[in-house]
Chain A
């Protein structure tokens, strides 16, 4: 009912055009850094190092992107993309699975230590990995998990946001369903698999979007524990592509890598926009 909603207070005529102009200006300003990176990824190095660089794409798209993907600077960008993908998926799936299980236990059972566990999990909400980096690094090093996928993933799934979301949602599932399952003699895990998980699928999808981006965009943790370039993720690997000292950076390749680094999360956000907005609102509540 958009027309009725806006009724008489929306702008018409010149005012409407002005509103569009403001909006387009805003979008252009916000978009400019991405546009410039894209342009830089399609031109030659000499065109960039003699400023000002062009503001319209050149014809080096394939050259720059294939160079980035196949050889990169320290390691092919395709390797870094794979590492980022494994890390982001591991964090998203891992966190969702362990949170579904623990939220189910907390909501649907009465067992000794339940409240204590609940509060212990609650505490982990409060401390981002940035704050405990040195000791966490020592633990991971002690397990021999440096330069490994498990080292990249496990320390980042030890947080309770998802558990809380699922707990909130499970509490809204009608009691009658659990009652019926119990009367039918269904075992708890049957109920979990047949009723609880299917009912949570929207929440799961929304959370997946948020967690995938969270995992993909990690910087500090991969920077600390992946000393082997073969294990670099793309977001932290870009910085490693800058030369130390006075050498000139290979801007076209670096910018192609930046564009490649933002494509997967952008696809996830734009294609699942509704779920994404829902996930944001849910996870911040």
Chain B
């Protein structure tokens, strides 16, 4: 789509677009190019020179069992976060949609966690499950279950998943609620007259109508769990125990800043770049469809 009516001149528009172009060039394109360039080298231990290795860093990464484990960890983590945030959100939205009065109050209460930063959410959940002072871990102990996410990788994963999914429930709830509100009542009432019960109506009429929203949320939540959950992982587990919660973004950080392995970290950035690119393409392809729908 283009404007028919435009203004003349080219100096002014260049000046107007300059701030964004300059900031993007300095803080985006140059660093991104650097990441690609650095991924082709291995710096010597003193950081004085770097040896060109071509795709060596990538070859090493793809055969590295820790890196492959991190891929798997990321996949498990993002699937769990997506499920744990979408299913409760849909459930709450369906209930809220049935209420005439009060749904506004509930909605206000449910929005809160979205505003809580992932890192702060991490601290809240860490506090509840802390092995020494946590309330939930203490009550679990009374029930005879010895909770220790510091040593147990599975429990650590469970905790970071729940802490990451928590704030996303609000987000998904808002989208599901909006989608449910836009389902035409006449369709539902017609089904009700035909004697279809609530759950029957839900699965045969409502759910198909909100599938576009659900699919959109699926992609957005996967992107979220790939990148924005760094704060949760850093505050709760720092990637441990034994790397059982080291997702890809966390590994870029820990190899690059903690381990100072710049070549490998840069190569990991480049791989992540492809992953983001792929996800973005899926997202846009889908959104194209949504417009027609």
Let me know if A251 and B133 touch, CB within 8 A: yes
- Cβ-based interface call for B157 (8 A): no
Q: A102-B19, A133-B252, A217-B118 are in contact. Are A127 and B13 (CB under 8 A)?
A: no
Let me know if B92 and A7 touch, CB within 8 A: no
Q: How far is the CA of A34 from the CA of B257 in the complex (A)?
A: 32
Q: A53-B133, A235-B117 are in contact. Are A19 and B95 (CB under 8 A)?
A: yes
What B residues does A19 contact at CB under 8 A?
A: 95, 98-99
Q: How far is the CA of A27 from the CA of B111 in the complex (A)?
A: 10
23 examples of A-B residue contacts, CB within 8 angstroms: A6-B185, A7-B189, A26-B92, A30-B169, A33-B125, A37-B127, A49-B132, A52-B139, A101-B17, A109-B13, A131-B249, A131-B269, A132-B35, A133-B252, A135-B269, A136-B27, A217-B117, A219-B230, A220-B231, A262-B120, A269-B114, A270-B108, A270-B111
Let me know if B17 and A157 touch, CB within 8 A: no
Partner of B16, one of A101, A130, A239: A101
Let me know if A270 and B112 touch, CB within 8 A: yes
Let me know if A139 and B111 touch, CB within 8 A: no
- Cβ-based interface call for A193 (8 A): no
The residue of chain A having its C-beta at the shortest distance from the C-beta of B108 within the complex is A270
Let me know if B114 and A158 touch, CB within 8 A: no
Partner of A219, one of B110, B234, B269: B234
Q: How far is the CA of A175 from the CA of B1 in the complex (A)?
A: 13
Partner of B99, one of A20, A105, A121: A20
User: Which of B29, B98, B118, B138 has the largest number of chain A CB atoms within 10 A?
Assistant: B98
What A residues does B34 contact at CB under 8 A?
A: 135, 138-139
| Range for the number of chain A residues in contact with chain B | 35 or more
Let me know if A104 and B16 touch, CB within 8 A: yes
What B residues does A93 contact at CB under 8 A?
A: none
Main secondary structure of the interface of A (DSSP, over half): helix
The residue of chain B having its C-beta at the shortest distance from the C-beta of A32 within the complex is B128
- Cβ-based interface call for A171 (8 A): yes
What A residues does B287 contact at CB under 8 A?
A: 285
12 additional A-B residue pairs with CB within 8 Å, beyond A10-B100, A128-B228, A134-B38: A51-B135, A98-B19, A107-B3, A110-B10, A121-B24, A124-B28, A127-B32, A130-B230, A134-B256, A139-B30, A218-B117, A238-B119
B91-126, CB < 8 A from A: 91-92, 95-96, 98-100, 102, 106-121, 123-125
What A residues does B201 contact at CB under 8 A?
A: 9
B200-247, CB < 8 A from A: 201, 216, 220, 227-228, 230-231, 234-235
Instruction: List the 4 closest pairs (A to B, CB-CB), nearest first.
Output: A217-B117, A135-B34, A219-B231, A135-B31
Binds B, one of A58-66, A72-80, A198-206, A273-281: A273-281
Binds A, one of B52-60, B68-76, B148-156, B270-278: B270-278
- Cβ-based interface call for A195 (8 A): no
Q: How far is the CA of A52 from the CA of B231 in the complex (A)?
A: 27
Let me know if A261 and B120 touch, CB within 8 A: yes
Q: A51-B133, A121-B20 are in contact. Are A34 and B113 (CB under 8 A)?
A: yes
Let me know if B6 and A126 touch, CB within 8 A: no
- Cβ-based interface call for B67 (8 A): no
- Least CB distance from B147 to A in Å reads 12
- Least CB distance from B21 to A in Å reads 6
A80-117, CB < 8 A from B: 97-99, 101-102, 104-114, 117
What B residues does A182 contact at CB under 8 A?
A: 5, 7
